[in-house]
Structure 1
Amino acid sequence: MPETMSATQALAMLPLPEFHTLSQDQTRGITCAFDGVGLSPATAVSLGERSLRRVGGRVSWFPRACRRCALEQAMNALVAHSQTCEQCVDDSNLCPTGSGLVRAVREARR
């Protein structure tokens, strides 16, 4: 049985804009990390804990996205992954990353 990946884990793998290009509200999860739209608990999708190396150690931050951007980013990641993954070509249900990204797409659509 293949290892599974949750939607939360897959969302935490999505690439983000460079940290130094984000506003303070984007880095704090108050606005979408991608387009800067204001977020509420009902409209926000957590992109997981991220770690940033700073002088003296590492700092954690918790970016969030609006549902539209989370869906777009998850779909882009799913397409890019499935084009290069042999397992996804054979049987996408057996690929932990591919199935996790499918879960992330579903989570963003809710």
Structure 2
Amino acid sequence: MSTAVTAALDLLPLPEFHTLSQDQVRGATCVWDGVGLSSATAIDLGERKLKRVGGRVSWFPRACRRCALEQAMNTLVAHSQTCEQCVDDSNLCPTGSGLVRAVREARR
């Protein structure tokens, strides 16, 4: 996966960490709908950091393709409606282009 796609996936809003099950936190199930994942079906959403007492903690959420596609599409629509560069020429906006790649990745 390219760094642009990884950066775009970082823009996807995740559920509040404290609301997630252990399986969602460890990436065994989709972070949004809790569907079981395998290495073939999961989309890696990249490393996320949490502030905790005594420092920062990393976690690595994953999603099913359906949820990743839905979230990427929603984020792309919201971004493109407020981004001046996307209104002028969406090909020149790295965020918009990354989100388009994220949508394509989720569709595979």
Q: TM-score, normalised by structure 1?
A: 0.94
Identical aligned residues as a percent: 85
AA partner of residue 31 (structure 2):
A
Aligned twin of 1:8: 6
AA partner of residue 86 (structure 1):
E
Matches within 5 A, 1:46-57: 46-57=44-55
Task: Show structure 2 runs of 5+ residues with no match.
Answer: none
AA partner of residue 103 (structure 1):
R
Distance in 2, matches of 1:46 and 1:17, equals: 15
RMSD: 0.8
Distance in 2, matches of 1:66 and 1:12, equals: 16
Q: Secondary structure at the match of 1:58?
A: strand
Aligned twin of 2:80: 82
Task: Show structure 1 runs of 5+ residues with no match.
Answer: none
Q: Secondary structure at the match of 2:14?
A: coil
How many residues get paired?
106
Distance in 1, matches of 2:25 and 2:99, equals: 23
